[in-house]
A = this chain, B = another copy of it.
């Protein structure tokens, strides 16, 4: 009688966990749906109704957890922020031992790995005047972390230059996302190759120490 609640093994077996610990799971589902719809339609065109439908909830439940469209966007942004921090922590941990090329590639793929399917992160990063500054923050964090990573890898790099570079690199990273969801697969792969090439060239030109006896 009191064992039907202690059968945690049973619950853990079927990997879907239908209703227990619902709050966290539900939020996760809602965020996922929000990410999907925003990726596909953009923030403005994404409707709360569709997000609710996509996550098999009713509109009221969506609003219970996120009291508005903006709140949902903010939650997504917060998550991206955290994930960006985690991703850069990982990069930074091995930055000193990375070749410039590897560093270039790692950076390029960072945003891509955050939400591999969609482009909600880039969509939400486009700060527009009048929007909550959460969006601006997301951008700022990304820029700051990029600059920081550059200086960890190449301590001699001047801080202002690192900051300037971060703008360019962030754009390359966003471009990467765009390419990754291009419909024309052939084109995409070629474009990706060129993007990688440009990104490497750029980083190398600044970060590679002048070889002794090269000129």
- A residues apposed to B, CB below 8 Å: 40-42, 44-45, 128-129, 160-161, 163-165, 167-168, 171, 175, 178-179, 187, 190-191, 193-195, 197-198, 201-202, 205
Residue picked from A164, A178, A197, most chain B C-beta under 10 Å: A164
Q: How far is the CA of A40 from the CA of B127 in the complex (A)?
A: 11
Contact B164 A168 (CB under 8 A): no
B44/A160 in contact, CB under 8 A: no
Shortest CB–CB separation between residue A147 and chain B, in angstroms?
11
**A190 to B178, Cβ gap below 8 A?**
no
Could you say which residues of chain B place their CB within 8 Å of the CB of A171? 171, 175, 178, 195
Complex contacts, A193 vs chain B, CB 8 Å: 164
A197 to B128, CA, bound (A): 27
Q: Tell me whether A41 and B205 are in contact (CB under 8 A).
A: no
**Contact among B168, B187, B201 for A194, CB-based, below 8 A:** B168
Given contacts A168-B175, A179-B167, contact A190 B44 (CB under 8 A): no
Beta-carbon nearest neighbor of A129 in chain B? B40
Nearest B residue (CB) for A168: B194
Within 8 Å CB of A163, what residues of B?
187, 190
- Residue in B closest to A43 when the chains form the complex, CB atoms: B44
Chain B contacts of A45 at CB under 8 A? 44, 128
Listed from nearest, the 8 A-B pairs whose CB atoms lie closest are A44-B44, A164-B190, A167-B191, A198-B202, A171-B175, A168-B194, A164-B194, A201-B201
Chain B residues with CB below 8 A from A161, complex form: 190
- Greatest chain B CB density within 10 A among A40, A161, A165, A179 is at A165
- Find chain B residues with CB under 8 A from A40 CB: 128-129
Can you name 18 A-B pairs with beta carbons within 8 Å?
A40-B129, A42-B44, A42-B128, A44-B44, A44-B45, A45-B128, A160-B190, A164-B187, A164-B190, A164-B191, A164-B194, A167-B179, A168-B191, A168-B194, A171-B178, A171-B195, A175-B175, A202-B202
